Amino acid sequence: MPANKNALIRYKTIDNCLRNKYSRWTLDDLVDACSEALYEMEGIRKGVSVRTVQGDIQMMRSDKLGYNAPIEVYDHKYYRYAEDGYSITNMPLSHNDYEVMQEAVDMLRQLEDFEQFSEMADIVRRLQDKLAISKTQRKPIIHFDSVPTLKGLKLLNPLYNYIAHKQTVRILYQSFNAQEPTEYIFCPYLLKEFRNRWFLFGAEASNLHLSNLALDRIVSVEPVDVPFRDKPEFDTERFFDDVIGVTKGINQRPSVVRFWANKEQSNYIKTKPLHSSQQLLSENLEDGSCTFQIEVVVNFEMYSVFMSYGPGVIITYPQSVVDCMREKYKDGAALYESV
């Protein structure tokens, strides 16, 4: 018996609640949790009824979806799992599930050689590894960077839908330096990930000023009845070609940045370029050091990446960037002098 998307969100929400042994969950608590989850993930505002959640609990208890969840009531009002460590997410795949998913992965693998689908390679490998784990119960052999507890991840799905349907939204956003959240009436265009943090790019509906908002600083988001406006000069496919990270003004142009790296860091930078524009300008055969060049927008993330290499990398051009890096290292050195 297939379950629709909203029902699956409710099942997962109830499961997350009942797995938390440090809270006591009444039926009303579960209703509130499901209503909040549907609002955050799908933008559904009308809430969930008590009868719906009661039906969900019965469905989870049954074998219609294969859960057979050991949900019990104690003290005549609170719900919990009777078995420690139980979760519907721990269920093994059935043979039929495995065969269907394997067919899907095999089909996706046939597309990897096409340039348009080259970015799917990591996703396909991830799926292959997960399927093998489910079938053989072995430990993972591929590990991908992820931060599952990162605040704001629940917004990815509703924001994706708002972008796909060109839906203007009202966003309450509170930056790290702000005492109170700021309201934006926002036309969302693109979701972008950088170092396991997600950012929403879009424009304010009133003036089409391009902004990027970190998802972990978004307090709330909801659709509004305001006409959606496109910003043609924001090319989502090419806008980030000359950027490290996410910070770039709509008319900001890239600069040539040259840097020297010692032997240890040169070996690393050769195999993992800082940017697709990276060029090797010269190599010192005596000490193994190299001089490289990239052409990128100068922004906070660029400085952050260069500083991550420590004393093994020195920017040599342009002078404005050299001066800025010097000041950053001076400030850091001054902090260490007080330790």
The tens digit of pLDDT for each residue in 146-185 reads 666 667 778 888 898 899 999 999 999 998 888 899 999 9
What is the Cα–Cα distance from 42 to 8, expressed in whole angstroms?
Answer: 12
What average pLDDT score do residues 284-309 get?
A: 95
Per-residue pLDDT for 3 more than 60? no
- Amino acid at position 42, single letter: E
Is residue 229 domain-resident? no
CA 47 from centre of chain: 26
Is residue 321 domain-resident? yes
Output phi, psi for 38, to 5 deg: -65, -35
Burial class (CB in 10 A: 0-12, 13-18, 19+), 202: buried
Give the model confidence (pLDDT) of 206-239 as tens digits: 999 999 999 999 999 999 999 999 999 999 889 9
Which string of DSSP letters, residue by residue, matches 129-188? HHHHHHHH-PPPS------TT-TTGGGHHHHHHHHHTT--EEEEE--TT-SS-EEEEEEE
Is residue 215 domain-resident? yes
Please count the structural domains in the chain: 4
Per-residue pLDDT for 2 more than 50? no
Q: Which domain holds residue 165?
A: 153-223
Task: Check: CB of residue 82 under 8 Å from CB of residue 72.
Answer: yes
Percent of the chain with pLDDT over 90: 60
Last residue of a domain, one of 223, 243, 278: 223
What average pLDDT score do residues 13-26 get?
A: 90
Instruction: Give residue 139's pLDDT.
Output: 65
Cα→Cα distances 155→51, 158, 331, Å:
27, 6, 36
Instruction: Give residue 212's pLDDT.
Output: 93
Farthest-apart Cα atoms in the chain, separation: 79
202 and 270 fall within a common domain: no
Instruction: Give residue 4's pLDDT.
Output: 79
Burial class (CB in 10 A: 0-12, 13-18, 19+), 114: exposed
The position carrying tokens 């067919």 is 103
CATH number assigned to the domain comprising residue 301: 3.30.70
How many C-beta neighbours within 10 Å does residue 78 have? 14
Instruction: Give residue 92's pLDDT.
Output: 64
Cα→Cα distances 267→105, 258, 280, 332, Å:
35, 17, 12, 26
Is residue 295 domain-resident? yes
pTM listed for this prediction: 0.64
CA 50 from centre of chain: 33
Is residue 177 domain-resident? yes
What average pLDDT score do residues 247-266 get?
A: 94
Task: Check: CB of residue 243 under 8 Å from CB of residue 297.
Answer: yes
